[in-house]
Chains A and B, each alone.
Chain A
Amino acid sequence: MIPELGHFALILALLLATTQAGFSLVGAARGNELWMTAGVSAARGQFFFIGIGFLSLAYAFYSNDFSVLYVASNSNSALPVQYRLAALWGGHEGSMLLWATTLALWTVAVTVFSRHLPPVFKARLLGTMGLISIGFLLFILLSSNPFERLIPAAMDGRDLNPLLQDPGMVFHPPVLYMGYVGFSVAFGFAIAALLGGELSPEWARWTRTWTTVAWMFLTVGIAFGSKWAYYELGWGGWWFWDAVENASFMPWLVGTALIHSLAVTEKRDAFKLWTVLLAIFAFSLSLLGTFLVRSGVLTSVHAFATDPRRGLFILGFLALVIGGALTLFALRAPKVGLGGKFGMVSRESMLLTNNVIMVVAAGVVMLGTLYPLFLDALGLGKISVGPPYFDTVFVPVMMPAIFLMGLAIFARWKNAALPDLMTRLKWAFGVSVVVALLLPFVMGKWTPMIALGLLMAMWIITTAVVSLRDRLQKREGGMIAALIHLPRAYQGMIVAHLGVAVFIIGVTMVKGYEVEQDMRMSPGDNATVGSYSFHFDGIQDQPGPNYMAAVGHFTATRNGREVAVLEPEKRMYTVQSMPMTEAAISAGLVNDLYVSLGEPVSEQAWAVRIYIKPFVQWIWVGALMMAGGGLLAMLDPRYRRRNKTQQGDNA
Chain B
Amino acid sequence: MKARHKRFAFIAAGIAAVAIAATLVLNAFRSNLVFFYTPSQVANGEAPKGTSFRIGGLVEQGSLKRANNSLDAHFMVTDTAKRIEVVYSGILPDLFKEGKGVVAQGKLESDGLFHADQVLAKHDENYMPPEAAEALKKAGALNEKTGKSLVTTTEQAR
Contacts and interface: CB of A to CB of B under 8 A. Distances in A.
A96 to B, nearest CB: 11
A453 interface: no
A381 B36 contact: yes
B158 A229 contact: yes
A167 B21 CA distance: 41
Contact of A234 (B94, B148, B152, B156): B94
A417 interface: no
Contacts of B81: none
Contacts of A360: 21
Contact of B71 (A294, A397, A580, A601): A601
> Which size class do B's interface residues fall under?
35 or more
Interface string B126-137: 010011011000
B123 A364 contact: no
B54 A74 contact: no
B156 A383 contact: no
Contacts of A367: 25, 29
**Interface of chain A: mostly helix, strand, loop or mixed:** mixed
Contacts of A90: 153, 156
B24 interface: yes
Contact of B150 (A233, A296, A519): A296
Contacts of A581: 94
A578 B100 CA distance: 13
A628 to B, nearest CB: 23
A306 B71 CA distance: 40
Nearest to A571: B94
A91 B23 CA distance: 40
A384 B92 contact: no
A455 to B, nearest CB: 20
A116 interface: no
Contacts of A384: 33-34, 36, 54
Interface centre among B28, B68, B125 (most CB of A within 10 A): B28
Contacts of A298: 155
Interface string A365-405: 00110010000100001111110110011001100000000
A607 interface: yes
A92 B152 contact: yes
Contact of A389 (B29, B36, B125, B153): B29
B71 A519 contact: yes
Nearest to A228: B158
Interface centre among B29, B32, B158 (most CB of A within 10 A): B158
A208 to B, nearest CB: 27
A558 B21 CA distance: 46
B124 A161 contact: yes
A194 B155 CA distance: 38
A598 interface: yes
Given A244-B158, A580-B94, A385 B25 contact: no
Contact of B158 (A225, A303, A383, A578): A225
8 contacts: A293-B156, A296-B151, A376-B130, A381-B36, A393-B25, A519-B71, A520-B69, A598-B91
Interface of A: 73-74, 90-92, 161, 163-164, 172, 225, 228-229, 233-235, 244-245, 293-296, 298-300, 302-303, 306, 344, 360, 364, 367-368, 371, 376, 381-386, 388-389, 392-393, 396-397, 518-520, 576-581, 598-599, 601-602, 607, 609
